[in-house]
Amino acid sequence: MAETLPEAVRPRAKSYFENVAPAHDWHHVQRVAALAETLAEEYDPDERILFSAVWLHDVGRGREDRGEIDDHSEWGAEEAARLLGGSGFDVTDAEIGAVQHCIRAHRFSNDVDAETLEAKLLSDADNLDALGAVGIGRVFCYGAERGQPMHDPAVPIDADETRAGATSVNHFHKKILRLPERMYTDAGRRLAEERREFVETFIEQFEGEAAGDR
pLDDT at 2: 62
pTM of the model: 0.95
In this structure, what CATH number is given to the domain that contains residue 190? 1.20.58.1910
Cβ atoms of residues 76 and 103 within 8 Å: yes
Task: Please state, in angstroms and rounded to a whole number, the distance separating the CA atoms of residues 149 and 208.
Answer: 17
SS3 143: helix
In this structure, what CATH number is given to the domain that contains residue 23? 1.10.3210.10
User: 50, 85, 113 — which closes off a domain?
Assistant: 113
Residues 12 and 92 in one domain: yes
User: 113, 147, 171 — which closes off a domain?
Assistant: 113
pLDDT at 153: 93
Residues 106 and 178 in one domain: no
pLDDT at 88: 78
CB atoms within 10 A of CB 2: 6
pLDDT at 55: 98
By residue range, what is the domain housing residue 203?
Answer: 130-214
User: 59, 82, 113 — which closes off a domain?
Assistant: 113
Would you say residue 125 lies in a domain?
Answer: no
Q: Length of the chain, please?
A: 214
Task: Please state, in angstroms and rounded to a whole number, the distance separating the CA atoms of residues 125 and 174.
Answer: 20
CA atoms 145, 173, 71, 73: torsion sign? positive
The domain total for the chain is: 2
pLDDT at 89: 84
DSSP type of residue 3: P
Cβ atoms of residues 155 and 186 within 8 Å: no
Task: Please state, in angstroms and rounded to a whole number, the distance separating the CA atoms of residues 125 and 23.
Answer: 15
The CA distances from residue 136 to 40, 128, 143, 151, in Å, are 25, 11, 11, 14
For the chain, 214 residues long, give each residue's pLDDT as a single digit of tens.
Answer: 468 999 999 999 999 999 899 999 999 999 999 999 999 999 999 999 999 999 999 999 999 999 999 999 999 999 999 999 987 788 999 999 999 999 999 987 777 899 999 999 999 999 999 999 999 999 999 999 989 999 999 999 999 999 999 999 999 999 999 999 999 999 999 999 999 999 999 999 999 999 999 8
